[in-house]
Amino acid sequence: MVEKGETSRTAEKKTEFGEQQLKKNDFDFQLHGMSRPKDQCDEVIWQSGQGSLLKDVNGQEYVDGIGGLFCNHIGHGRKEMAQAAYDQMSQLEFMATLAGYSNPNSIRLTEKIVKIARKAFPEMSSVFLTSGGSEANEAAYHFVLRYFSNKGMKDKTRMVSFCNSYHGSTMLPMSANTTISSYGVERVTGGKSDNFVHIDFPNPNFFPMSDVKHEESLGQAAARKLEEAIVKNGGEQKIACFLFEPIQGDGGAVIPHDDFYPLARQICDKYNILMIADEVMTGFGKTGKWFAMEHWGVHPDIITFAKGVSSGYLPVGGVILSDKVKGGVFEESSDEPFKHDYTYASHATCCAVALKNLEIMEEENLVSVCAEKGYKFLSMLMNRLLELPIVKDVRGAGLLIGIELKEKCAKDVESKMLKEEHVVVHAAMNEKVIDLAPSFVTTQEQFERIADGLYNVLSKM
């Protein structure tokens, strides 16, 4: 049992092998995502964490500026999270939850998520649980196809998404991202798939301003381009859904023009298109609201989530369906089951940990804390960094923050921050933005260490 005040023996004990042996074994035996084997030659091997601080196997301390990977809201090393996992594992670690089975924790967690969502979106109805964000976006698309198939519209299969987006790394999410679409459906169709339509994001750094007409706002122009893309690619007969990050996360905390989402909602209604808000990165408080779509008061038909729902302590993700979508997917007249499932979806222990995470967030009022700390941290970064020649923009919402550079050197900045400043930041896939997403329990001194480190590195570039 995890006793109060007990230090984690695993975290603090001396490693079985030295760092060099660990690195050799890692190179020999483990393959890492989004990398090449040679990228591991100069890696950091994490050993322990507390709050927003990390230690490697040599005992070197770092400030975690990305919350694990945009997911840790409550800080590392919370004993009550370990206790929740221990208590559930001691009783029942896992059992299948497909048709005919369930467990108390998955029931409680889905109820909790729906109640949180309904505060802003009263029409939200039910949750389909997954193990992560990629799976959630895959599942959302299956729900969309089933919805329109049940209504006799089997030709409605096409998806609209943004350029500079990131929706995950399985086949469908890869296809929705122009940067890595060659790893998606294009790979198996020889580039002949017309199911994925891409438009520019409604932000001045990513939307061609030459497309904005006289007396038209950028948001209005982007909405017009959305409608034009829909019409050009089959309109109501072909386009099934619009998948989007409310605020682009990995792309660099890119915030849309305020006019866009209200107009996009009208356009999607006009052409009978379902709106899928990918809140994997923004959901559960990261932008200072439980869900980022609350900033515009626009109601999506489907919400996908992961990351912050469990603060990354164990893998949990899911899809929230509105009453309309649930009713269309599970029509009473249809005896056909929804043939989509994941072995570890609704995992009893993962759900117990997610429930404890949400309990901590509510008890410590962490969503409001995120909004307050995020405003101060963003102001600090703007004051320190905007004067530097290499910096193009500093932006964010809550504690999802992006520092856009004038050159594609974000990977170099990430490496120097790690080695020279002992601060963990993340280079966006576009290699032009440094992403930050520190936990909501980060202290003022730790925020200053991140800002100072960025200033030190960027001022030399």
pLDDT of 126: 98
- Tell me which amino acid residue 158 is: R
pLDDT of 12: 43
Out of 39-43, 217-221, 227-231, 452-456, pick the least confident. 39-43
Q: Is the pLDDT of residue 190 over 70?
A: no
Above pLDDT 70, what percent of the chain?
A: 93
Q: Is the pLDDT of residue 2 over 90?
A: no
Of the candidates 81, 119, 139, which has an alpha carbon nearest to the alpha carbon of residue 285? 119
Over residues 253-302, the pLDDT tens digits come to 999 999 999 999 999 999 999 999 999 999 999 999 999 999 999 999 99
Q: Is the pLDDT of residue 8 over 80?
A: no
**Helix 444-458 crosses helix 366-385 at what angle (to 10 degrees)?**
30
Region 385-392: what's the mean pLDDT? 98
Region 410-434: what's the mean pLDDT? 96
pLDDT of 125: 97
pLDDT of 11: 43
Q: Is the pLDDT of residue 181 over 60?
A: no
pLDDT of 186: 66
pLDDT of 142: 95
From CA 406, how far away is CA 370, in angstroms rounded?
28
- Tell me which amino acid residue 304 is: T
Confidence category of residue 332, pLDDT binned at 50, 70, 90: low
pLDDT of 108: 98
pLDDT of 185: 67
Of the candidates 353, 306, 413, 352, which has an alpha carbon nearest to the alpha carbon of residue 107? 352
With beta carbons less than 8 A apart as the criterion, state whether 250 and 435 touch: yes
Q: Exposure of 433 by Cβ count < 10 A (0-12 exposed, 13-18 middle, 19+ buried)? A: buried
**Structure tokens, 341:** 């499932």
Over residues 28-46, the pLDDT tens digits come to 898 888 887 777 777 899 9
Domains of the chain: 44-74+365-458 (3.90.1150.10), 85-363 (3.40.640.10)
Per-chain mean pLDDT for the chain: 93
Distance of alpha carbon 393 from its chain centroid, rounded?
Answer: 22
Region 228-239: what's the mean pLDDT? 98
**Better-predicted residue by pLDDT, 330 or 444:** 444
Region 224-234: what's the mean pLDDT? 98
Tally of CB atoms within 10 A around 455: 17
Residue with tokens 């949750």: 127
Element (H, E) at 46: strand 46-50
b/e code 161-194 from CB counts within 10 Å (16+ = b): bbbbbbbbbbebbbbbbebbbeebbbeeeeeeee
Region 320-337: what's the mean pLDDT? 87
With beta carbons less than 8 A apart as the criterion, state whether 261 and 252 touch: no
Region 340-362: what's the mean pLDDT? 96
**Helix 366-385 crosses helix 348-363 at what angle (to 10 degrees)?**
70
Confidence category of residue 182, pLDDT binned at 50, 70, 90: low
Q: Is the pLDDT of residue 99 over 90?
A: no
pLDDT of 10: 46
Q: Is the pLDDT of residue 9 over 60?
A: no
With beta carbons less than 8 A apart as the criterion, state whether 388 and 459 touch: yes
b/e code 330-350 from CB counts within 10 Å (16+ = b): beeeeeeeeebebebbbbbbb
Residue 400 DSSP class: E
Q: Is the pLDDT of residue 78 over 60?
A: yes
Q: Are strands 433-436 and 426-427 parallel, antiparallel or unpaired?
A: antiparallel
